[in-house]
Amino acid sequence: MDYAVYITTNPNRSVLYTGTTNTLSRRVIEHYLEKGKNNTFTGKTYCYNLVYYDVFPTMREAIEAEKRIKGKSRKWKEELISSFNPEWKFLNKEIVGEWPPKKVLEDPYFQQYMKKDN
């Protein structure tokens, strides 16, 4: 299993969110389902557009990378994203396979996730 550190942004790219996960495609969809919900940072700020990710063999390494990134300035993060994704394209479709997700949402996991009081 691969573990990822990732950065998402809102539609106008003014807010950045850094996180870790063991299933990047699932986590991107979860952020999308949280949009507009005020009980999560990514929901409040509509940060569901993936612009950066890096994969590690262990969660420990992914968490260490997340901490390093979170400790850096916005400018540094922008340079990191630009070195990986120069046009700041939203990478959701590349990772999920379809965007916005439709068929994927038929999965029982996401059916339950949408019922949660997020």
What pLDDT digit, counting tens, does each position of 54-80 carry?
A: 999 999 999 999 999 999 999 999 999
Q: Which domain holds residue 108?
A: 3-115
Backbone dihedral angles phi then psi of residue 103, each to the nearest 5 degrees: -60, -40
> pTM of the entire structure?
0.89
What pLDDT digit, counting tens, does each position of 6-46 carry?
A: 999 999 999 999 999 999 999 999 999 888 888 899 999 99
CATH number of 20's domain = 3.40.1440
How far apart, in whole angstroms, are the C-alpha atoms of residue 54 and residue 64?
Answer: 12
Number of domains the chain is built from: 1
- Cis peptide leading into 100, omega within 30 of 0? yes
Residue 109, pLDDT above cutoff 80: no
